Amino acid sequence: MASLREAVAEVLSPSFIDDIGSISVEELRRRRDQAIHVESVVSYTRRLVQAMLDITNASEASGNSSELVGELSGILSDGNSHSSAGRLVEVEISEEASLQADQFLQESLVGPPSKNDRLMATEKEISEMRQKLHSVLDQLSSELVEQYKNGRASVQGLLEDLRKG
């Protein structure tokens, strides 16, 4: 299993999209699906970091652990200050993706400054990764649309592929 950083690095590598104008529709779809998967793990990890930040901030503000436990559902509800920028985040996450997220967090949250500072730095890093992944996804999607427009791909072919598998 590749680490999350390795999976992100592969999708963000220039070679991942350098040749998109000349590759097959099937390969474009494969790369798009790979990028979607990696982005979903990154988004999941980001939500974990944001939840940790919300809990840490509430804990610092409250100082009373029993009061904090009673407020957890409110702290973690949709009323928080974070957004997903309009992308749908995959709700079900595979065990492998969960392990990638856990490993990423363990690596990112060790060391000095304060836990809150490490969480904020990790949230910034993962948000930047996510933005770059969105750019790759947009380029892959645009190329797929272009291939349908110029006749290199057909809707009939897509429907046949869907029926097969």
Structure pTM?
0.79
pLDDT at residue 101, rounded to an integer = 94
Listed by start position, the domains of the chain span: 4-11+23-164
pLDDT at residue 44, rounded to an integer = 95
pLDDT at residue 66, rounded to an integer = 62
pLDDT at residue 91, rounded to an integer = 57
pLDDT at residue 56, rounded to an integer = 84
pLDDT at residue 100, rounded to an integer = 94
End-to-end CA distance of the chain: give it in Å, rounded: 25
pLDDT at residue 135, rounded to an integer = 97
Query: How far is residue 5's CA from residue 129's CA, in Å, rounded to a whole number?
Result: 9
Q: Which residues of the chain have pLDDT under 70?
A: 62-91, 154-162, 165
pLDDT at residue 141, rounded to an integer = 92
